[in-house]
Amino acid sequence: MTADASHRKPDMPWIEACTTQDIDEEDLIRFDHDARTFAIYQGPDGTFFCTDGLCTHEDVHLSDGLVMGYVIECPKHNGQFDYRTGEAKRSPACRNLQTYNVRLEGERVLVEIP
Amino acid sequence: MGVVIVGAGEAGVRAAFALREAGYQGAVTLLSEEPDLPYERPPLSKSPDALRPIAPEEAYRAAGIRLRLGIWVTHVDIGRKRAETSDGPLAYDHLLLATGAEARRLPGFPEAVHLRRRADAGALFARIVPGARLTVLGAGFIGMELAAVARGLGAQVTVLEVGPRILCRAVPAELAALLHARHAGEGVRIVTDAAAAPLPGALRLASGEVIAHDLLVAGVGSVPRTDLAERIGLEIDNGIVVDAGHQTSAPGIFAAGDCCALRQEAGVLRLESWRIARDQGEAAARAMLGLSAVGSVPYFWSDQYDLCLQVVGLPGGAPLASRVLPGGGRMLFEADAEGRLTRAAALGRDNELARDIKLAERLIAAGIAPVAEALADPGISLKSLLGAGTAVAKAT
């Protein structure tokens, strides 16, 4: 979800993750930061999103998965999530994905990582 | 009354949850003869210590699924719709047989152990220690996955296969050759066209060579568990015969997963894999409620070392194209006489091939006939063929 910068808390830093050129539309990339791993998406409408990088079913990175519309499908076992909300959409995924706020500064993609 | 599910593997568990997802309000009773919370079987041959429950215990409670462990069914009174269990009778409206399969036993090899259940895996891996001599009979998925894990644990591994190559049944020869080379590079000795005779603690090959072992494992396929179905008179043909809605020959009784065989125009088709079992469990649950199944394309995977093999679709087509994946992996495509994609098989490192396999699955499901040159060109995204190829399919 995009967030207004005025809502940011001082202890929630915005981290520069990539540029808008780094991700194709309807696709995702992996972003590692501070021993944590995330997935950053560009939706079919050009909006950017961020979730935890690992599937909640098994520790498989979603960056090898397939984005169709607003759904990411895990590369291993076909669990599906709506990456806008993190909602688990198809078994075996049953726990939701954590999502993070994303905002753009020009071409820079910034993620709010607590 | 309600639904009684016999067997709590992937098909049975998936069916139980799918009933609730589809809005079923009646009682759902899930019976497992094993004492453990229902667990995933694929990790058993891939990792010595992973035991992954299919769902946490709370999930059954939350969904109102009555999970009963250590219970088996001895008989079914079809007329009265009553299952006799080891713990008393259970009435049902619909019965689902999800009894799975068991390891095929190899006659004449009394030392051979098998891998199918959690207890098998525990006993087997306790004996795979550094320096242990492991001989595997059968170069199928269980055998080759086990060989890879055992090498990682420091065992000396020999694989004997009666056929001409490894993974004969389900993997295209080109990819099987790449896997064979990797195993050989890791120090696994593979003997194909092997005829072996048992000796105490050893096998003698036709050449006269004697191969001693500390552990002998047979991975020679599975047989569907149909004894209960046979006892109650259901039609059996390499599995409990079911129609497209997973209905058996007896009204009110369904079957799904490794135990069932789908009736086709040209005979029956029994499919074994994690995802197929799940899809069939879901399809059977929906059929009980009069709902149509969500279509699915058969799919399976195998992990060996850092290599992943994924296959989607069914064999029988002709080779159409070969594609080099970005990480150096290979992907092969097959098509029917009209050029429609029927199967894609890929071998690569980790999950580099997952996206293309998922796209191939969609191309197969949509009945698309892609241009071979486009499939072979790594610069052309398979996603782009989903739209473009439709026109080709319509034109044919």
The Cα B18–Cα A79 span in angstroms is 15
Contact A91 B52 (CB under 8 A): no
- Verify whether the Cβ–Cβ distance B55 to A64 is below 8 Å: no
Of B299, B354, B383, the CB nearest to A75: B354
Tokens of B192: 């194909």
Nearest to B96 by CA among B38, B36, B39, B29: B29
Contact indicator for B138, B221 with CB cutoff of 8 Å: yes
Contacting A with CB below 8 Å, chain B residues are 14, 17, 52, 54-55, 59, 274-275, 278, 299, 301, 350-352, 354-355, 358-359, 383
Position A3 scores a pLDDT of: 47
B contacts of A78 (beta carbons < 8 Å): 275, 299, 358
Q: Which of B7, B70, B82 is nearest to B16 (CA)?
A: B7
Least confident of A57-61, A80-84, B113-117, B337-341: A57-61
* Residue burial B239-273, b: 16+ Cβ < 10 Å; e: rest: bbbbeeebbbbbeebbbbbbbbbbbeeeebebbbb
Helices first, then strands: H and E counts in chain A: 0, 11
pTM of structure: 0.87
**Residue-level pLDDT at A10:** 57
Q: Note if the bond before A92 is cis, omega within 30 degrees.
A: yes
Q: Calculate how close chain A gets to B253, using CA atoms only, in Å.
A: 25
Give the 3-state secondary structure of B125-181: HCCCCCCCEEEEECCCHHHHHHHHHHHHCCCEEEEECCCCCCCCCCCCHHHHHHHHH
Q: Which residues of A touch B275 (CB under 8 A)?
A: 77-78
- Tell me what pLDDT residue B388 has: 53
Residue reference for tokens 């051979």: B112
Distances from the Cα of B327 to the Cαs of B105, B225, B330, B358, B382, in angstroms? 40, 41, 9, 17, 16
Burial status of residue B337 (CB atoms within 10 A of its CB: 0-12, 13-18, 19 or more) = exposed
Residue by residue, pLDDT tens for chain B (396 residues) are 899 999 999 999 999 999 999 999 999 999 999 999 999 999 898 877 767 899 999 999 999 999 999 999 999 999 999 999 999 999 999 999 999 999 999 999 999 999 999 989 999 999 999 999 999 999 999 999 999 999 999 999 999 999 999 999 889 999 999 999 999 999 999 999 999 999 999 999 999 999 999 999 999 999 999 999 999 999 999 999 999 999 999 999 999 999 999 998 888 889 999 999 999 999 999 999 999 877 789 999 999 999 999 999 998 899 999 999 988 899 999 999 999 999 999 999 988 899 999 999 999 999 999 999 999 999 999 999 987 544 444 333
> Would the pLDDT of A13 be above 50?
yes
**Residues A11-112, CATH architecture:** 3-layer Sandwich (2.102)
Q: Residue B169's pLDDT is what? A: 86
In this prediction, residue A21 carries a pLDDT of 93
Hey, are the CB atoms on B358 and A76 less than 8 Å from each other? no
Name every residue in A having a CB less than 8 A away from some CB of B.
26, 58, 60-61, 64-66, 73, 75-78, 91-92, 94
- Domain boundaries defined on chain A: 11-112
* ipTM for this model: 0.78
- The Cα-based distances of B173 to B220, B319, B353 in angstroms read 19, 11, 18
CA distance B128 to B132: 6
CA dihedral B321, B324, B330, B333 (to 10 degrees): -20
Pair type for strands B94-97 and B3-6 = parallel
pLDDT band at A14, cuts 50/70/90?
very high
Provide the token pair at B230.
């046979």
